[in-house]
Amino acid sequence: MRRRWRRLATAVLAAGLVSAVPPPAVAGGSLPEVVGPIPGSVPGDPRAPGLADTYPFFSTPDDLAARGYVEEEFYLSGAADGWSLDGSRVAADVPYTTRLVVRRPESPRRFTGTVLVEWQNVTAGYDLDALWEADAITRAGHAWIGVSAQRVGVDHLRGWSPARYGRLDVTGGGAFTADELSYDIFAQAAEAVRKPGRHSPLGGLRARTVLAIGASQSAARMTVYYDRVLPQVRPVFDGYAFVVGSAPSRRGPEPVFQVLSETDVRSARRPPDTDRFRRWEVAGTAHSGHRGQVYRAPIAERDLGGAPSYECDRPPFSRVPMHHVTAAAYHHLVRWVEHGTPPPVAEPLEFEADGVTKRRDSLGLARGGIRLSQVAVPTALNTGDNGGESFCFLFGSHEPFDEETLDRLYPARGRYLGSVRAADHGNVRSGFLLPADARGNWREALASDVGR
């Protein structure tokens, strides 16, 4: 009877009927249930009483169809175990229902078999797909799945669209409000991805390599999962990427990649690279840079009524493309998992003798680390540091050089263009930059007025 009800619920949702609702979470058993795709798309009204008239929160404005991709949303239900921060099991088989956002190739021919499963970041008080990067992910042919694992994000969803999200719950009816269930919910999302079939969130696609990715606070949650929970449970992820946040201290069998902006590197102390751990530090980049702000501003206007503004000590948002290095890291992580090929080793950022002050050159740019052409051949002072109001320290800074400085650095246009090409080619050879992103940098250099 239960199986028949689930088939019916899935059919109703797929047909787009407004009466469809999330299934009740079912306790017992370890395999989660997936229902969807949930009807509704932009434009719509989050407050509408019918699902088909609503749409997914923070639905991407990227033209996915032009890239051969689709965006779909699903309900994920099951029974999760609860874990404390110290790795103690505090509950078993607690019912939950949450959501998955899926952006994937429409055709199996475009799919690499790699799925990036992101732990949605909730630092702002709502779900944020901090690591969705349309150019890199769709160019590669990977699938991306965002998991709403934490109470803060789910509570916001419930209030934002009661018809769409009103029955979501990741707290066991309020019994576990410290995100004790989040670790198992995140792992069960990966189990659902791995399970092929008509009701898979990947549609007809088959996953080969499933990677866990998380940024900032989400990386911290994943660190607890990897260090303290994972040794006690069956692994479901093939590899892990911890971006602009902490990384595990345990060295397990699954590869771990940590990618940090200049903002996030606070001292000269760092764990050593091993055959299972790699750490990259990127000069001139910010914890939350310009690219992400530009992408999210119109979404925040649409779904939240506007984006926050900040009064920072220096012009905010570094424009050094941290996402270029993250894309290269994913590329290496897949090769690491599938072929056992470890990523290249990168030089760390440099520090003064006190171990906490970053060394800087005469222009104010950080020394050491991965140096993209925007830092190696600078036209502005980009740093990972800032002050002012709360959160400004995360944004870094961007201060374009004046004409006198640019003329001194690049008295001839050929010198500027040649330096950009050399820096990018060096980073491609070293494995820190993908060729497609090097070509994009070259087009931007050609379009600039530097050296004219």
Tens of pLDDT, residues 249-266: 999 999 999 999 999 999
Cβ proximity of 257 and 340 under 8 Å: no
| pTM to 2 decimal places | 0.92
| Count of CB atoms situated within 10 Å of the CB of 13 | 23
Please give the structure tokens belonging to residue 86. Answer: 């110290």
Distance from C-alpha of 108 to C-alpha of 110, rounded to nearest angstrom: 5
Count H helices, E strands: the chain? 13, 11
CA 54 – CA 161 distance, rounded (Å): 8
The domain spans of the chain are: 2-211, 255-452
pLDDT class of 198 with cuts at 50, 70, 90: low
pLDDT computed for residue 197 by the predictor: 67
pLDDT of residue 152: 98
252-256 own/partner pairs: CB under 8 Å, 24+ apart: 252/226, 252/276, 254/226, 255/333, 255/336, 255/337, 255/342, 256/226
Give percent above pLDDT 70 in the chain.
93
- Structure confidence by residue, pLDDT tens digits, 133-189: 999 999 999 999 999 999 999 999 999 999 999 999 999 999 999 999 999 999 999
Q: Does residue 7 surpass a pLDDT of 60? A: no
Taking the C-alpha atoms of residue 445 and residue 452, their distance in angstroms, rounded to an integer, is 12
Inform me whether the pLDDT recorded for 90 exceeds 70.
yes
318-371 tens-digit pLDDT: 999 999 999 999 999 999 999 999 999 999 999 999 999 999 999 999 999 999
